[in-house]
Amino acid sequence: MVTVCGLVGYALGRILVGSNVVPYLMWSIVLDVSRSNRKDHRNGIKKPKKHRFMSMKGVDQKFLRNLRFAKKHNKRNHHHQQQKQQQQEQQQSEA
């Protein structure tokens, strides 16, 4: 810790900083803030993880039920679109 007049900083109740007398707790916070940038970079600053799907916990049940049906029918419509495209390609190749 910090030594002031030969005494260790954490042994003092108050510490003289410049011309101000500061309580030890505040002094330890000041020390910690000045080191926080180094501490943050020790393990690297990482981006927050992006989840693929949002959690549906706590969402309205009526909405979830409608969402399930919408997803189901989107798949069906996609299948019909593919069939139509194949039929159109066959008709164009025959003509």
Confidence (pLDDT) at 37:
83
Question: Strands 20-23, 14-17: parallel, antiparallel or unpaired by DSSP?
Answer: antiparallel
Facing residues of 4 across strands? 7
Domain-embedded: residue 52: no
Domain-embedded: residue 31: yes
Percent of the chain with pLDDT over 90: 22
> 36 and 63 share a domain?
no
- d(CA 85, CA 91) in angstroms, rounded, equals 10
Q: Range of 30's domain?
A: 3-42
Alpha helices in the chain (DSSP H): 24-42, 61-94
Confidence (pLDDT) at 21:
63
Number of folded domains that form the chain: 2
Residue 92, pLDDT > 80, answer yes
SS3 53: coil
In tens, the pLDDT along 31-70 reads: 666 778 888 889 999 999 888 988 999 999 999 999 999 9
